[in-house]
Amino acid sequence: MKAILCKSYGPPENLVLEEVEDPVAGENEAIVEVYAASLNFPDGLQIQGKYQFQPPMPFSPGSEVGGIIKSVGPGLKDFQAGDRVMATPGIGGLAEQVSVNADGLRKIPDSMDFKTAAGFAMVYTTSYYALKQRAQLQPGETLLVLGASGGVGLAAVELGKLMGARVIAAASTDEKLDFVNRLQPDALLNYGDGDLKEKVKALTDGKGADVIYDPVGGDLFDQSCRCINWNGRLLVVGFTSGRIPEYKANLALLKGSSMVGVFLGRFRKEEPSEYEKNFSDLLAMYNQGKLSPIVTESFPMAEYVKAFEVFSQRRVMGKVTLEIKAE
């Protein structure tokens, strides 16, 4: 099969598209023939050796795919060859086939195409966990979402609205905000000029937001600590700005606010049944037409450099996928 491989850390141009051995399904695993693979911001870090988890070299990046089960290994129950699935192998997704453990396999409705399936799991499960378990977001509360046009941000806007919050969608350009506006947030905020704090205060009668969803970090995090409401929760989701900020404890004291970490991978390991319940809830929401995942850009497999550039050039609006095999 063909696979996009990282053999030395560096920019996407260092990746190679090569023939490798087909994977073989181990105990409790399936081999998924990949039709579409999703890219996420961490993939771009991983190929540079800058992510908190680095697989051994060489590796194929890509944590989630949509495709059809080709074969199943010993002990795998509930799945068989021919099943259409969304799969979260964790690594190895940018390839024509990938082996996936049972807990990373989910059947998809016939109405869901493979690129939608590929881009569903990571963004929705992260943002739902963040808003539901970590923030315990309540109807009527104000939710500020930073990086609102990106993968996890867009899912947070959509889920925040469904959970009954007043959602302020914030991004760095008007073009991105126009894009997010299709989800009908209650307010739009452009922080492209560097100001977040005063704009949030103006939109919240000077009180600040009850919950702040932050996948960006850096200066926006610093300002978020200063425009959070009494009893507010600041969700630490990621650091796309490139700077891991420091939390000023005096601000937590003065505002009665909390900084709350969000780590999907650990949640999945520590609380597997809660994770499964979240996932089922999300698929039910999709089946009821309440969620509309938006894949905006889909590149042929050979154009993987262009796909990675959407992230490194800060251009993401919605989900970005690679088309590995035509449907």
Ligand X SMILES: NC(=O)c1ccc[n+]([C@@H]2O[C@H](COP(=O)([O-])OP(=O)(O)OC[C@H]3O[C@@H](n4cnc5c(N)ncnc54)[C@H](OP(=O)(O)O)[C@@H]3O)[C@@H](O)[C@H]2O)c1
DSSP state string for 195-209: --HHHHHHHTTTS-E
**With respect to ligand X, which residue has the nearer C-beta, 33 or 43?**
43
Distance (Å) of CA 281 to CA 85, 137, 156, 223: 17, 16, 15, 33
**With respect to ligand X, which residue has the nearer C-beta, 63 or 71?**
63
Binding mask 162-191 for ligand X (x = CB under 6 A): ---------xx---x---------------
Residues 252-291 that bind ligand X (CB under 6 A): 262-264
**Count of residues binding ligand X (CB under 6 A)?**
28
**Residue 229 sits in the site that holds ligand X (CB under 6 A):** no
**Residue 63 sits in the site that holds ligand X (CB under 6 A):** no
Stretch near ligand X under the rule CB under 6 A, chosen from 7-15, 72-80, 87-95, 236-244: 236-244
Strands 29-39 and 319-323 turn out to be: antiparallel
Residues 145-164 that bind ligand X (CB under 6 A): 147, 149-153
- Min dist CB 234 to ligand X, Å, is 13
Figure out which of the listed residues 92, 93, 238, 245 binds ligand X, where binding follows CB under 6 A. Answer: 238
Contact between 83 and 107 (Cβ < 8 Å): yes
**With respect to ligand X, which residue has the nearer C-beta, 25 or 118?**
118
Beta bridge partners of 300: 323
- Min dist CB 240 to ligand X, Å, is 4
Q: How many CB atoms lie within 10 A of CB 133?
A: 16
Q: Which residue is nearest to ligand X (CB)?
A: 150
**Residue 122 sits in the site that holds ligand X (CB under 6 A):** yes
Figure out which of the listed residues 12, 30, 37, 42 binds ligand X, where binding follows CB under 6 A. Answer: 42
Q: What angle do CA 258, 137, 231 make, to 5 degrees?
A: 35
**Residue 215 sits in the site that holds ligand X (CB under 6 A):** yes
- Alpha-carbon distance of 18 to 175, in angstroms, equals 37
- Alpha-carbon distance of 66 to 84, in angstroms, equals 8
**With respect to ligand X, which residue has the nearer C-beta, 186 or 239?**
239
Structure tokens at 107: 């059947």
Q: How many CB atoms lie within 10 A of CB 281?
A: 14
Total residue length of the chain:
327
Contact between 84 and 105 (Cβ < 8 Å): no
Q: Strand, coil or helix: what is 28? A: coil
Find the helix packing angle between 121-129 and 272-287, rounded to 10°.
110
Figure out which of the listed residues 245, 259, 311, 321 binds ligand X, where binding follows CB under 6 A. Answer: 311
Figure out which of the listed residues 157, 203, 216, 283 binds ligand X, where binding follows CB under 6 A. Answer: 216
- Residues lying near ligand X in the complex (CB under 6 A) are found at 40-42, 122, 126, 147, 149-153, 171-172, 176, 215-216, 237-242, 262-264, 311, 314, 316
